[in-house]
Amino acid sequence: MSFWLRSLGPLARRKPLAGDRSADVAIAGGGYTGLWTAYYLATAAPHLSIVVLEAEHCGYGASGRNGGWASGLFPVSHAKLTRRYGAAAADAMYAGLADAVDEVGRVADAEGIDCHYVKGGTISLARSAAQLRRVRSDPGFVGAAEARAICGASHVLGGVYSPDCAALHPARLVRGLADAVERLGVTVHEGTAVRGLSRGAVVADQGTITAGTVVRALEGYTARLDRRAIAPVYSLMIATEPLPLSDWERIGLGRRETFTDERHMIIYGQRTADDRLAFGGRGAPYHFGSHISDKYDLVPSVFESLRQTLTEMFGIRPAIADRWGGPLGIPRDWMPSVGLRDGVGWAGGYVGDGVAASNLAGRTLADLILGRSTERTALPWVGHRSRRWEPEPLRWMGINAGLRGASLLDVLDR
């Protein structure tokens, strides 16, 4: 379990599915995507019978393990979206994500979910000459003094600031959403692993749900149903013990801004509500055959690298309170997607930026299921189909070569 989930104390499990049943909508996955979809469907159409199936407990996957960024970030750049779909579509995609950041906070407030939501924005620091060259032309570029005033890391030469990000406690959000959808009449079954999903039916260990619409909302765990649809790549995190005020006076993040830098091997961090640094990054290997296992959550060398990075960035040697990790979902073209075809809906492939994107995806899926034509259903990720990942061993070779290549590029950037 992550630090976030552990901080909630013992979790009471909801009852598993007990035999076959029918529903209007059956959703596989009790994380953000599945729960947001259920929330907006139940709000708009309370007459629908909606069932959510979760293999472990709500938030067991990425929704309860992530860095706690509800951001307007998207893994496909605005420039690339413009080339593919036009400037208006790219603008709409990014505007929809920015709106989703606020919508997460609005729903949390409306439903009484105390998820420590604070919208302080995010800063990506340029800490080498090569990084500075890459960001100078960005519309959100800020100079060294302004960047250091936000986040007092070492060697800061500038940065890119965006207001479209909120820090939050991800496990409080996902567990609060599960409670909220139940209040709206949605049935949530935990301890119910989905083994198959097709038009009109979701098959689990404990029974089959027949439904007019089924939704796949499994993110990285999609690989357990289809190994080549989404690649599960691991991201690992640490959480420090609460830091003293003297450290925070130097580090900054006074509005709980989230932070990263412009290195190729992604890092990400936030100041928690109780003054810890929650800090994570990529670097753990991809496992052959898209295999997922709890033992892959713990890679001592990556945890030590994360601790050393905090020391290098902030001049501290923090006591580490917790270490954890988990898989995120990466499509072959890094383009998240949402869709509904022949009674089967899907959403995901967020490449690690899913906290706010899943909210937009859930609202969009609700529109599609209810047959509504809205601004959301016209967004460029709707109906997108990524090409499938290569078969093994090409997939294993390519993804791990990419991870090593990112590390090499960071060495060359220094």
Average pLDDT over residues 12-28: 97
Count CB neighbours of 24 within 10 A. Answer: 15
pLDDT (tens digit per residue) in 284-337: 999 999 999 999 999 999 999 999 999 999 999 999 999 999 999 999 999 999
- Beta-strand pair 21-28/207-216: parallel
The confidence score (pLDDT) of residue 36 equals: 98
- 290-304 exposure pattern, b = at least 16 Cβ within 10 A, e = fewer: bebeeebbebeebbe
Whole-number CA gyration radius for the chain? 21
Which of 313, 196, 331, 316 is closest to 245 using CA atoms? 316
Can you tell me which residue has the tokens 């299921």?
A: 369
Q: Is the pLDDT score of 413 beyond 90?
A: no
pLDDT (tens digit per residue) in 172-216: 999 999 999 999 999 999 999 999 999 999 999 999 999 999 999
Domain 3-121+163-413 = CATH 3.50.50.60: yes
pLDDT (tens digit per residue) in 146-164: 999 999 999 999 999 999 9
Residues whose CB is less than 8 angstroms from the CB of residue 212 and which lie 6 or more positions away in sequence, other chains included: 24, 25, 200, 343
Q: What confidence category does residue 281 fall into, taking pLDDT thresholds of 50, 70 and 90?
A: very high
Cα–Cα dist 173/179, whole Å: 10
Average pLDDT over residues 371-377: 98
User: Mean of the per-residue pLDDT values for the chain?
Assistant: 97
pLDDT (tens digit per residue) in 341-350: 999 999 999 9
Q: What confidence category does residue 283 fall into, taking pLDDT thresholds of 50, 70 and 90?
A: confident
Q: How many CA atoms lie within 13 A of 76 on its CB side?
A: 27
Cα–Cα dist 166/184, whole Å: 26
341 bridge partner residues: 344
Cα–Cα dist 330/357, whole Å: 14
The confidence score (pLDDT) of residue 369 equals: 98
Cα–Cα dist 93/183, whole Å: 31
Which of 25, 23, 365, 33 is closest to 217 using CA atoms? 33
Of 140-144, 185-189, 217-221, 410-414, which gets the smallest average pLDDT?
A: 410-414
Cα–Cα dist 143/313, whole Å: 18
The confidence score (pLDDT) of residue 92 equals: 98
What secondary structure does DSSP assign to 309-373, as a single string? HHHHHHS--PPEEEEEEEEEEE-TTS--EEEEETTEEEEE--TT-HHHHHHHHHHHHHHHHTT--
**Which amino acid, residue 288?**
F
Q: What confidence category does residue 389 fall into, taking pLDDT thresholds of 50, 70 and 90?
A: very high
Average pLDDT over residues 250-278: 97
> In 144-244, where does DSSP find H-type helix?
144-150, 170-183
The confidence score (pLDDT) of residue 98 equals: 98
Cα–Cα dist 285/318, whole Å: 26
Residue 207 φ/ψ region, left for φ over 0, alpha for ψ in the -120 to 50 degree band, beta for the rest? left
Which pTM does this prediction carry? 0.97
Q: Is the pLDDT score of 414 beyond 90?
A: no
> Is 283 or 153 the better-scoring residue by pLDDT?
153
Cα–Cα dist 51/34, whole Å: 10
